[in-house]
Structure 1
Amino acid sequence: MAVGRVLRARLRPARLIAALRWRIAMGRYRRGLFRLSTLKRGAADPASVPVIMCLWNRPERIDAILRQLDRQHRPVRLLLWNNAPAKARHYRERVASFTPSGSLTEVALYTSRLNVGGLARFFIARKLWQAGARGSFIMLDDDEDIRPEFVDDLLASAGPHVIAGFWAWKMKNDYWARTPALPGEIASYVGTGGSVCDLDIVSDPAFFTTLPRYYAFLEDLWMCGFARRRGWRLVKADVQIDFVLDETNQHHELGALKGEFYRYLRLTDPD
Structure 2
Amino acid sequence: MSRLSPQRIASAVRWRIAQRRYRSGGFRLETLAGRAGDGDLALIMCLWNRRERIDTVLAQLDAQRIDGRRVRLLLWNNNPADDAYYRERIGRFTPAGALSEVALFTSRTNVGGLGRFFIARSLRESGYRGPFLMLDDDQDVSDHFVADLLAASGTHTIAGYWAWTMSGDYWARVPAEPGDRVSYVGTGGCVCDIDIVADDAFFTELPRYFAFLEDIWMCGYARRRGWTLRKVDTPVEFVLDETNQHHSLAERKAEFYRYLRLGELD
Alignment TM-score, normalising by the size of structure 2: 0.92
- Secondary structure of the residue that 1:117 maps to in structure 2? coil
Q: 2:166–2:263: 8 Å Cα contact kept in structure 1?
A: no
The equivalent of 2:30 in structure 1 is: 37
Q: Does the alignment pair 1:25 with 2:18?
A: yes
Greater shift, 21-30 or 204-213, is seen at 21-30
Q: How does 1:115-126 map to 2 (within 5 A)?
A: 115-126=110-121
CA RMSD of aligned residues (A): 1.8
- Secondary structure of the residue that 2:152 maps to in structure 1? coil
**Cα distance, 1:135–1:114 mapped onto 2, change above 3 Å:** same
The equivalent of 1:261 in structure 2 is: 256
The equivalent of 1:143 in structure 2 is: 138
Q: Among 225, 228, 233, which residue is 1:230 paired with?
A: 225
Q: 1:18–1:215: 8 Å Cα contact kept in structure 2?
A: no
The equivalent of 1:61 in structure 2 is: 53
User: Which one-letter code corresponds to 1:36 in the other structure?
Assistant: L
Displacement after TM superposition at 1:31 (Å)? 5.9
Q: How does 1:204-215 map to 2 (within 5 A)?
A: 204-215=199-210
The equivalent of 1:198 in structure 2 is: 193
**Cα distance, 1:21–1:181 mapped onto 2, change above 3 Å:** farther
Q: Among 151, 159, 172, which residue is 1:156 paired with?
A: 151
Q: Among 107, 111, 114, which residue is 2:109 paired with?
A: 114
The equivalent of 1:81 in structure 2 is: 76
The equivalent of 1:70 in structure 2 is: 62
- Secondary structure of the residue that 2:97 maps to in structure 1? coil
For residues 247 and 13 of structure 2, the distance between their equivalents in structure 1, rounded to whole angstroms, comes to: 22
For residues 265 and 9 of structure 2, the distance between their equivalents in structure 1, rounded to whole angstroms, comes to: 32
Deviations 1:133-167 (A, max 9, x none): 00000000000111110000011111000001110
For residues 126 and 171 of structure 1, the distance between their equivalents in structure 2, rounded to whole angstroms, comes to: 29
The equivalent of 2:175 in structure 1 is: 180
Q: 2:153–2:193: 8 Å Cα contact kept in structure 1?
A: yes
**Cα distance, 1:217–1:21 mapped onto 2, change above 3 Å:** farther
Q: How does 1:42-53 map to 2 (within 5 A)?
A: 42=35, 44-53=36-45
Displacement after TM superposition at 1:32 (Å)? 4.1
- Secondary structure of the residue that 1:221 maps to in structure 2? helix
- Secondary structure of the residue that 1:156 maps to in structure 2? helix
**Which ranges in structure 1 are unaligned for 5 or more consecutive residues?**
1-14
For residues 182 and 32 of structure 1, the distance between their equivalents in structure 2, rounded to whole angstroms, comes to: 38
For residues 29 and 147 of structure 1, the distance between their equivalents in structure 2, rounded to whole angstroms, comes to: 32
Displacement after TM superposition at 1:18 (Å)? 8.8
For residues 133 and 214 of structure 1, the distance between their equivalents in structure 2, rounded to whole angstroms, comes to: 31
User: Which one-letter code corresponds to 2:202 in the other structure?
Assistant: F
